[in-house]
Structure 1
């Protein structure tokens, strides 16, 4: 590598290395271009985005779930034309010339899709950025077989936004939409109030709805056991349904998005001749629908 080429690599933020010599196309934000942006910071979703000039965006995301999760996507302006094997290498910045490149792993980027990395490898990319290094993806150009592409994430100005991103992840709700979209809750006998365990579950549903503007339908179906007469059971069932309608309206849901129905002692799911069966039949089924995005 001649001296002029070495200077250019340094300006781009890379230390000279055998890997760098072999590359023909490089995409990386210069120190002046490097930006990290929190584009979503809610109890439902955290997203941290890094624009890569002339290439696309690098995006880390984590969502409300029972398990801590992290996804990384290399969003390309022009998706891959062919499936490619990709090397992921951690490169030192130009101002740390004594450090060497460290190979992280290999993976595949698939035709017509953005590059995806999940699980422990995604956390590893964050770790390398936190160290001040440049995680770098390397693959053969699908348009020109004698060229390779190198795409790097700049660690300049990363740490401050990473702190915000980490705080966001720690505040994500510990359940997802799928966890609460179909829920069966239970009542104490003759009461229009849910039992304590079900009240806690209902609070989780409410917390999710407060932060999600995409919920467009709540279906509430209430049922009783067979203890009372048909008319009394129907009346109690309808009272329970109306209490829940009022509750969901208090969360800000429009009235036309809430549908409630009291079924009384119709449609039992267990034997009403036993106390356990009656407890199961004395229930409410809540189904949530949301806008598909």
Structure 2
């Protein structure tokens, strides 16, 4: 365990007899690891000997995001507040520590911080500063606790993490879990926009094929004989099923239904309204 020289302030300035328990990885063995690296999730983890670990995570989404979680071996016993500071190490004389945020301590939950604070902590680590979390120990009222993220050996893994984040898919599972695909007239050919939607689903399935169930509902407009339209709706659904199995989804987890010209969502009295009825609805569900 590496001891830090810190100033007494606010949350920490209680009894002069209070002890400070400090947790941080030693400089010589400080380890950062790209714990998860895919187009769905990027996670950068840091081990805190005797305490737990700290993890920064970003997920595939339409919006760039970042979360910080402090994984504690001993979860909080009561509610409280921790102070988060950026503390320069001892070999940066003249640099002042500064407060970054407060972190809510919740009973029996790990600590976490929102996106803006998480990004700030990463930038402080990149500068060589140590983000440090201070709080009153919930198991020993005579003790204060300081948990520091050691910036040693951070930079190279952080660059790998940044590269991973930049390659995340620009949409999440929720964005593709319910998709309506449209078709050209009297055809199993998708419109250009729907082809791109299907490709998005395919890109996701390359990363995650662990789906519990895929429901594919094929539909047709009322142009032509009803029996023919029902078969066309089934062919449309089967084409999508074949695409998913090629992406690695097990065939027995895919359920298709052809509704023909039933279940219209628009009248069939204009070319525009008939186009709305030529569709396949794809519903994905995960455990």
TM-score (normalizing by structure 1): 0.92
Shift, 1:13, TM fit: 5.6
Shift, 1:16, TM fit: 4.7
Q: Are 2:264 and 1:264 aligned? A: no
Q: Structure 2 unaligned runs (5+)?
A: none
The match for 2:59 is 63
Distance 2:19 2:178 in 1: 52
Match of 1:246 among 207, 232, 242: 242
Shift, 1:135, TM fit: 0.3
Match of 1:110 among 106, 109, 116: 106
Shift, 1:219, TM fit: 1.1
RMSD value over aligned CA atoms? Answer: 1.6
Maintained 8 Å contact 1:14/1:92: no
Distance 1:168 1:23 in 2: 41
CA deviation digits over 1:70-117, x for unaligned, max 9? 000001011111111110111111211322211112231211110010
Shift, 1:137, TM fit: 0.4
Total equivalences in the alignment: 281
The match for 2:33 is 37
The match for 1:151 is 147
Maintained 8 Å contact 1:137/1:150: yes
Maintained 8 Å contact 1:242/1:260: yes
The match for 2:4 is 14
Structure 1 runs of 4+ aligned residues shifted over 4 Å read: 19-23
The match for 1:28 is 24
Residue 234 of structure 2 aligns to a residue whose secondary structure is: helix
Distance 2:19 2:185 in 1: 73
Q: Are 2:272 and 1:282 aligned? A: no
Q: Are 2:94 and 1:98 aligned? A: yes
Shift, 1:119, TM fit: 1.4
TM-score (normalizing by structure 2): 0.94
Shift, 1:192, TM fit: 0.7
Task: Point out the more displaced range, 41-50 or 138-147.
Answer: 138-147
Q: Structure 1 unaligned runs (5+)?
A: 1-10
